[in-house]
A and B are shown apart, each in its own frame.
Chain A
Amino acid sequence: MEFLWDFFVAPFLDMIEYPTFLGEVAISGLLTGVMYSLVALGFVLIFKASQVFNFAQGAMVLFAALTLVGLMEHGVPVWGALPVTAIVMVALAFAIERGMLRPLINQPPITLFMATIGLSFLLEGAGEWVWGSNVKALDLGIPSSPVDVAGMLLNEFDMIAALVAAVLVAALALLFQHTPMGRALRAVADDPQAALSLGISLRTIWIIVWSVAGIVAIVAGIMWGAKSGVQFSLSLIALKALPVLILGGLTSVPGAIVGGLIIGLGEKVAEVYWGPVIGGAIENWFAYMLAMLVLMFRPQGLFGEKIIERV
């Protein structure tokens, strides 16, 4: 009985009694969610343009962060390390296109998916081999001091991260909507065959999206790295972009963002209010369970296009 009370009634009473605290929890959840969205964004870009479900996006985030911090540890200033990391990520895109995508062209999607699992191991191993596996601090000089907003204590760093994410998303949206490259990308996403007949090179497109996803990974890596240190567990955090993605629908940029917000908010609120009742640390699986439940009722995700199977 007591458990039922604790589970079904008490959390809601707490929420009503201390609305400011609920606000803090909610906003901190949403801000974390923005960071999930950042990782998920890379997935969506790649999936839209090449139908590859890139399991290695999380590893790319880790790899980018490791490269950046590693360079800085060797005395390279930020303004030097950033472009070098970007070049590394673009080079990586070329390598992936040449070494993995091109030989696997026309293979079933699930084969490519498994190949990206291999890729994620490759990247994690390589990143840690070159730069070491100790936890590295990434200090951007942004204070993580609490700020008072409407009576709620919020973390300044989280808000800046959210701002950066918003800018990035806006930039990507502009890129997609208003540049010739963006139009080409959308053409490929809509109908690869037609795009090919228009003379759009699939390989070029792949290199571009994997490069852009790499750059997005740098931003996500910086944000996550500055928040919780650059270390192996980063790729596990980034793995959570998978449920975000499933929730939002694989092909939808707004879906990735809303999905990230829902997961961030949901798992934070669940952890704070229900975690203590059922043992804590439910953040580890909450996102996956939520995504699975949504899939049961809406297999294409919240924003995804309905899949009509034809024979």
Chain B
Amino acid sequence: MIVLSYFNDLYGTFFATRSRTINTVFVTVISLLALFAVPTLANEYWLQAILIPFLVFALAALGLNLLTGFAGQLSLGTGGFMAVGAYAAFKMTTAWPEMDIIAIFFISGFFAAGVGILFGLPSLRIKGFYLAVATLAAQFFLIWLFNRVPWFYNDNPSGTITAPPRTFAGVMVTGPEAAAEVRYLVALVLLAVFVFFSWNLMRSRFGRAWMAVRDMDVAAEIVGIPLLRTKLLAFGVSSYLCGVAGALFVFLYLGSAETIAFDVNVSFLVLFMIIVGGLGSIAGSIIGAAFITILPIFLTNLNPILGIDLAVDIAKHIEVIIFGGLIIVILILEPHGIARLIAITRERLRI
């Protein structure tokens, strides 16, 4: 019940504060649908191609949003931090096959957190776009590292890492045999857990310290907030979530992957998610991830519906153009993204 009331609260603050009853009903319905209706109703394609990547990216977007939207540190290294989580999970589960896979997901994030903190060190002295360039160093270096050092992919001649079959409580969670429904539910529950934690964290002294550093670091120091410690914690927590997302990306979605799966475009994609969804909004991370994951699929399916036959590569170019244009338009019209738009709409409609 506490959980429910908190989700209600989460929903309420981000959308409107007017009616708690409507919010409770809404959140309950969504939760029940997500837990029971979706896995039974959705077909394999929907789960595999849309819902699972959406959940994984929502987690990554949540991670980046904590760092960029809440703590104000722009990062273009998301892909690199996700890779750390993925490779850590791969190394652990191949080294200790009997280890619980869910535990491995949770632990893999700590490796990413460590790396994130390391690359967050320059944030004490540099900020804004300077820091963004420094995080690109993390992105390119990490991808290079995982590419060049065969130890990371167990000397596999193809250079890929593959999710081996692993079970949790007797149910196959990863590997080719794992059912899409199971993978979906694992991703869903993990995302819910982290959203729940993040929500509480953002309403604690840590969340306030992050936002204070974001809004004005000089003043933050004057009220006694330790800048480096606060920023490093933000890098750590953010990278932790991105790392877990990276592990889920390979283990629940891709099945097997090369470093290219985590290249700099992933970093941009996740950044776009939080800009579109709403910087500094937990709900916004999820909305943005949904939007950016579904948009390309929507565009591909638009062709048959409208009877326009676009070549695959042209459709891809148009998608890139739309992403780019969308970012500019959102930044101009509503810098706080879709989450804020929904809040305003609800305010107007008084629901």
- Whether A80 is near chain B, meaning CB under 8 Å from some CB there, is no
Q: From B320, which residue of chain A is reached at the shortest CB distance?
A: A125
A118 & B326 in contact (Cβ 8 Å cutoff): yes
Residue numbers in A under 8 Å from B82 (CB-CB): none
- Whether B271 is near chain A, meaning CB under 8 Å from some CB there, is yes
Residue numbers in A under 8 Å from B219 (CB-CB): 311
Q: From A102, which residue of chain B is reached at the shortest CB distance?
A: B332
Which stretch in A20-28, A82-90, A205-213, A283-291 binds the other chain?
A283-291
- Whether B321 is near chain A, meaning CB under 8 Å from some CB there, is yes
C-alpha gap A53/B131 in the complex (Å): 12
- Whether B117 is near chain A, meaning CB under 8 Å from some CB there, is no
Residue numbers in A under 8 Å from B268 (CB-CB): 117, 121
Residue numbers in A under 8 Å from B121 (CB-CB): 296
C-alpha gap A122/B330 in the complex (Å): 14
Q: Interface majority SS on A: helix, strand, loop or mixed?
A: helix
Residue numbers in B under 8 Å from A125 (CB-CB): 317-324
B140 & A122 in contact (Cβ 8 Å cutoff): no
Q: How many A-B residue pairs have CB under 8 A?
A: 132
- Whether B133 is near chain A, meaning CB under 8 Å from some CB there, is yes
* A148 CB to nearest B CB, Å: 35
In the complex with contacts A129-B318, A288-B140, A299-B126, A122-B218 CB distance below 8 A? no
- Whether B168 is near chain A, meaning CB under 8 Å from some CB there, is no
- Whether A228 is near chain B, meaning CB under 8 Å from some CB there, is no
C-alpha gap A122/B129 in the complex (Å): 20
A118 & B332 in contact (Cβ 8 Å cutoff): no
* B144 CB to nearest A CB, Å: 5
- Whether A272 is near chain B, meaning CB under 8 Å from some CB there, is no
In the complex with contacts A125-B321, A133-B313, A279-B148, A110-B74 CB distance below 8 A? yes
Cβ-neighbour of A117 out of B133, B141, B271, B321 (below 8 A):
B271
* B76 CB to nearest A CB, Å: 8
Residue numbers in A under 8 Å from B192 (CB-CB): none
Interface residues of B in 280-330 (CB under 8 A from A): 313-314, 317-328
C-alpha gap A111/B333 in the complex (Å): 12
A124 & B320 in contact (Cβ 8 Å cutoff): yes
Residue numbers in A under 8 Å from B149 (CB-CB): 279
B130 & A246 in contact (Cβ 8 Å cutoff): yes
Interface residues of B in 128-180 (CB under 8 A from A): 128-130, 132-134, 136-137, 140-141, 143-144, 147-149
Highest count of chain A CB atoms <10 Å: which of B141, B149, B313, B331? B331
Residue numbers in B under 8 Å from A117 (CB-CB): 268, 271, 327
In the complex with contacts A99-B328, A124-B320, A129-B321, A295-B125 CB distance below 8 A? yes
C-alpha gap A55/B268 in the complex (Å): 12
C-alpha gap A167/B335 in the complex (Å): 42
C-alpha gap A120/B328 in the complex (Å): 10
Residue numbers in A under 8 Å from B137 (CB-CB): 243, 285, 288-289, 291-292
* B272 CB to nearest A CB, Å: 8
- With an 8 Å Cβ cutoff, the count of chain B residues facing the other chain is 44
Residue numbers in A under 8 Å from B324 (CB-CB): 118-125
C-alpha gap A100/B271 in the complex (Å): 19
C-alpha gap A184/B332 in the complex (Å): 28
B331 & A104 in contact (Cβ 8 Å cutoff): yes
Residue numbers in B under 8 Å from A126 (CB-CB): 317, 321
- Whether A6 is near chain B, meaning CB under 8 Å from some CB there, is no
C-alpha gap A173/B318 in the complex (Å): 39
Q: From A310, which residue of chain B is reached at the shortest CB distance?
A: B218
* A93 CB to nearest B CB, Å: 15
C-alpha gap A288/B135 in the complex (Å): 9
Residue numbers in A under 8 Å from B319 (CB-CB): 125
- Whether B275 is near chain A, meaning CB under 8 Å from some CB there, is yes
- Whether B255 is near chain A, meaning CB under 8 Å from some CB there, is no
- Whether A77 is near chain B, meaning CB under 8 Å from some CB there, is no
Q: From B222, which residue of chain A is reached at the shortest CB distance?
A: A311
C-alpha gap A118/B121 in the complex (Å): 27
- Whether B122 is near chain A, meaning CB under 8 Å from some CB there, is yes
- Whether A7 is near chain B, meaning CB under 8 Å from some CB there, is no
Residue numbers in A under 8 Å from B317 (CB-CB): 125-126, 128-129, 133
C-alpha gap A115/B195 in the complex (Å): 28
Cβ-neighbour of B332 out of A104, A120, A239, A292 (below 8 A):
A104
Residue numbers in A under 8 Å from B143 (CB-CB): 284
C-alpha gap A55/B324 in the complex (Å): 12
C-alpha gap A63/B275 in the complex (Å): 25
- Whether A179 is near chain B, meaning CB under 8 Å from some CB there, is no
A285 & B328 in contact (Cβ 8 Å cutoff): no
Cβ-neighbour of B141 out of A121, A246, A288, A291 (below 8 A):
A288
Residue numbers in B under 8 Å from A197 (CB-CB): none
C-alpha gap A122/B327 in the complex (Å): 9
C-alpha gap A118/B147 in the complex (Å): 28
- Whether A103 is near chain B, meaning CB under 8 Å from some CB there, is yes
C-alpha gap A295/B123 in the complex (Å): 10
- Nearest 6 pairs between A and B by C-beta? A118-B327, A121-B324, A122-B324, A125-B320, A288-B137, A279-B148
Additional A-B contacts beyond A117-B268, A121-B323, A299-B126 (9; CB < 8 A): A110-B129, A115-B327, A118-B326, A121-B327, A122-B320, A242-B133, A279-B149, A284-B143, A309-B218
Subset of 12 A-B contacts with CB under 8 Å: A104-B332, A107-B335, A110-B128, A113-B132, A117-B268, A124-B320, A239-B136, A282-B144, A284-B140, A288-B136, A292-B137, A295-B130
Residues of A within 8 A of B (CB): 53, 55, 99-100, 103-104, 107, 109-111, 113-115, 117-126, 128-129, 133, 236, 239, 242-243, 246, 278-282, 284-285, 288-289, 291-292, 295-296, 299, 309, 311
